[in-house]
Amino acid sequence: MDVNGAGLAGAIGTLDSLRIEIPSWGFANTGTRFGKFLQAGAATTLEEKFADASQVNALTGITPQLALHVQWDLPAGVADAGIVKRLTAKYGVQPGSINPNLFQDQEYKFGSICNPDPGVRRKAIDHLLESVEIAKELRSRDVSLWISDGSNYPGAQSIRKRIGWLEEALSATHDKLDTSQRLLVEYKPFEPAFYHTDVADWGMAAHFAKAAGPQARVLVDTGHHYQAQNIEQIVAWLMHLQLLGGFHFNDRRYADDDLTIGSIDPYQVFRIFHEIFSEPNAAAAGEVAYMIDQSHNIKGKMEAMVQTVVTAQELFLKAALVDRERLAVLQSEARTVDAEECLRSAFWTDVRPMLREWRRNRDIPEDPLQALRESGYVEQIEKERRAKNAMLSASYA
């Protein structure tokens, strides 16, 4: 690829702005609806999650925040905020987005904030309001909300009533935000509801965000789409509407597979980053949150997380290398092949030598994955946690 010195320096300079939030649940034992394959080194406590996150940040230099799931990480709610603050001070990792849980309790069999039982709806809203208070206490900007509500059979639920209940719940939650906070509304076409999902696509999420209030945005999970859906077009639309809040990055072969980023379609992630770089409002682009949401249980937890962050850096830098001025000219002249090649040439650039130099200049291991393997950290945590995970395995069986 022919990149002049100024263009190359500018692209590499963008790496300093890239921060990726990693999920606490990405270090724990997770699985599918059918079961779990437990790992000896998986985190079993919140402190172990913070320790693992600290190690990933030391190796990559760009993951200073850990997303927290309220029910899994703060079961006592606001009362657990002190524990998080202590762990933050000990491990140097800040709490990131706060993620409510509206899908696990038995009362949510027929929905949470869209449940036909007003008592269940009240419980769900109270949980959302407490999640906002947790975020305030921990100075977390984003309350990130995935709503699993829906129905499985035609006629089983009133789709229209549930729209109104959802609007009411999100508005009540938005009203409790302080001026520095955001409410991120995620969408998913199906699972666990297979007839209709209450927030099934980006258009519904955009409506609910606008109805909730000016501090609400849409969160795009790259796994939450039908096959062959043009996610970068959705990104472009949300940027145009000033409603893009952030991403949950993972990859998929079918739907919500929770595979590591770029493992199936790295070109898609590159195209998404390209659309963000194409946003003329730099301030708006800078507000987009990059978060990982992977929980597959085949790869080792630590290796998977480091590999994911490194892959995201590579694809981000590739997108930064696109000559967008030349691309705009080629597009205006309808030179289809040349325009496509302008985009592809950036994607096919081997950016790994540039990243090695960038890391070397910042005293970060040039090859984070290799550094993890040589550090002995994985062997250490497997030794320390093996017994606890064996007990979990016995109880799970």
What are the tens digits of pLDDT across the range 72-86? 999 999 999 999 999
Count other C-beta atoms under 10 Å from residue 368's C-beta: 21
The pLDDT tens digits of the residues spanning 336-370 come to 999 999 999 999 999 999 999 999 999 999 999 99
Give the pLDDT score at 33: 63
More confident of the two residues 37 and 296: 37
pLDDT for res 63: 98
| pTM for this model (two decimals) | 0.95
Residues 346/322, Cβ–Cβ less than 8 Å: yes
Q: Using 50, 70 and 90 to split pLDDT, how confident is the model at 393?
A: low
Q: What is the band of 35 on the pLDDT scale with cuts at 50, 70, 90?
A: confident
Does residue 91 register a pLDDT over 50? Answer: yes
Q: Report the percentage of the chain scoring pLDDT > 70.
A: 96
Task: State residue 9's pLDDT score.
Answer: 81
The residue-averaged pLDDT of 52-66 equals 98
**Does the domain formed by 5-396 have CATH 3.20.20.150?**
yes
Structure tokens at 214: 């000016």
Lowest mean pLDDT across 87-91, 217-221, 246-250, 297-301: 297-301
Predicted confidence (pLDDT) at residue 114 exceeds the cutoff of 50: yes
Helix crossing, 202-212 with 159-175: angle to 10°?
50
d(CA 84, CA 232): 35
In this prediction, residue 32 carries a pLDDT of: 66
pLDDT at site 396: 54
Checking if the pLDDT of 230 tops 50, the result is yes
